[in-house]
Amino acid sequence: MRLVEISGDIPKPIIGDRCEEIRAVLEVFPGRILKCTKRYALIDTDNPKEVSYRLAMAHYVYEVIHGPGIEGELSGTYLVERVRIGGRRIEVKEALEIVKSLGASVDLKAKERTFVISTPDGIFVATRRLPTGRRFLYKRKPANRPVHDPPTLDPYLSRFLVNLSRVPPGERLLDPFCGFGSILLEAYDVGAKPIGIDMRKRALEGTMKNFEHFYHARPQLVLGDSTKGIIKGVKHVASDPPRGKMLRKGLDARYKFLEVTDARRISAVLGPYHDVGSPVYYGVLNEGTKKELRFVVYKNR
């Protein structure tokens, strides 16, 4: 069993729950969610390394051997590390006693670590901890790219949308409004084959420079209007569509609003595809009305 420590900066509000990204990744690498909470999730998977590397809105994936409803034993000598995930503070003496009660020895010089994790639902003990792909994403922040045009998506949100698209390694992922390639970069990083469409030649040239800088690779790019047709053979789409009308006063700059005509055009672009991850609220923006961003996951199965 694995315990996933969920990040506190998952975009809000979101359709579904805070485990939506985890659920999507477990459709790519078969597994299941056993429990979902605000701060952590318990999952069952035979591909922990692949799952942990895909995740953007989580910090670590722990291998749990003991906890509420989990009876396990521990052997060997360990250095004990305390981890707090929304639970009470665990004193050092208590953490050591918990590890010893499971049959293990404790030594500050031990090479192997065990983790005593405090959660609102009880205490878990884990023997291994895998970092998620989140720790590597900062390298591709807009400020580190050769070309970017603000406002642009950060790599954390881009990876999040790629995961919501449920694209497996080796399959094609389309961004019909690719801009300077924020989403395409993350799609390539997880092993997908990115395809980008944009009406601006400058944006596609910038995307190519960004790919050459990070990966020495050349994605498939199309100069054109994505509303004029669909690309056949593509099942997965991740995109941050054009903003239409944006209200900035008193709102986070990520909150985007679309006139109903824009919403219909973008819906026509995204609708035919299999799985879509897109941070857009589709609806009419009434004069003087402030509506919040909704993360909409389309599954046209």
Local confidence pLDDT in tens for the 301 residues of the chain = 999 999 987 765 444 568 889 999 999 999 999 999 989 999 999 999 999 999 999 999 999 999 998 988 899 999 999 999 999 999 999 999 999 999 999 999 999 999 999 999 999 999 999 999 999 999 999 999 999 887 788 899 899 889 988 999 999 999 988 999 999 999 999 999 999 999 999 999 999 999 999 999 999 999 988 877 767 788 888 888 765 434 333 333 333 433 434 445 555 666 666 666 655 433 333 333 444 334 344 443 3
Domain boundary at 116, 132, 148, which? 132
Whether residues 168 and 141 fall in one domain: yes
Tokens 């989580």 -> residue: 58
Residue 222: phi, psi to the nearest 5? Answer: -125, 125
Record the tokens describing residue 189, joined without a space: 């990083």
Q: Based on the domain organization, do 57 and 98 belong to the same domain?
A: yes
Pick from 132, 163, 193: which residue ends a domain? Answer: 132
| Owning domain of residue 204 | 137-299
Q: Which long-range contacts (CB under 8 A, 24 or more apart) does 16-21 make?
A: 16/297, 20/164, 20/295, 20/297, 21/55, 21/56, 21/57, 21/58, 21/160, 21/163, 21/164
Is residue 221 domain-shared with residue 295, that is, in the same domain?
yes
Least Cα distance to 276 among 177, 210, 152, 149 occurs for: 177
Residues 155 and 272 placed together within one structural domain of the fold: yes
Supply the Cα-derived Rg of the chain in whole angstroms: 22
> Do 286 and 263 contact (CB within 8 A), yes or no?
no
Residues 38, 77 within the same domain: yes
The total number of structural domains in the chain stands at 2
User: Which residues, listed in sequence order, are joined to residue 125 by a DSSP beta bridge?
Assistant: 66, 116
Closest CA to 165 of 84, 88, 240, 253: 240
The pLDDT value recorded for residue 31 is 96
What is the side-by-side strand order in the sheet with 220-223?
220-223, 193-198, 172-175, 236-238, 275-278, 296-299
CATH of the domain at 115: 3.30.2130.30
- Token representation of residue 248: 């900035």
Question: With contact defined as beta carbons under 8 Å apart, do 169 and 54 qualify?
Answer: no
Are both 150 and 206 inside the same structural domain? yes
Contact 298, 276 (CB under 8 A): yes
Among 72, 104, 132, residue at a domain's last position: 132
Residues 108 and 164 in one domain: no
Distance, in Å, from the CA atom of 122 to the CA atom of 86, rounded to the nearest integer, reads: 10
What pLDDT score does 298 carry? Answer: 40
Q: β-strand 122-131 against 113-119: which pairing, if any?
A: antiparallel
pTM of the model: 0.83
Are residues 192 and 284 part of one domain?
Answer: yes
260 and 184 inside one domain = yes
Q: Are 126 and 257 members of one domain?
A: no
Tokens of 120: 């609102």
What is the per-residue pLDDT for 274?
Answer: 61
Which residue's structure tokens are 């390394």? 49
Instruction: Produce one character per residue of 89-108: b if its CB has 16 or more CB atoms within 10 Å, e if not.
Output: ebeeeebbebbeebebeeee
Could you tell me which residues come within 8 angstroms of residue 39 by beta carbon, excluding any fewer than 6 positions away?
Answer: 5, 6, 85, 86, 119, 120
**Cα→Cα distances 97→37, 102, 220, 294, Å:** 27, 9, 57, 46
62 and 182 together in one domain:
no
Cβ atoms of 125 and 99 within 8 Å: the answer is yes
Residues 200 and 291 in one domain: yes
In this structure, what CATH number is given to the domain that contains residue 246? 3.40.50.150
Return the residue matching tokens 């909470």. 37
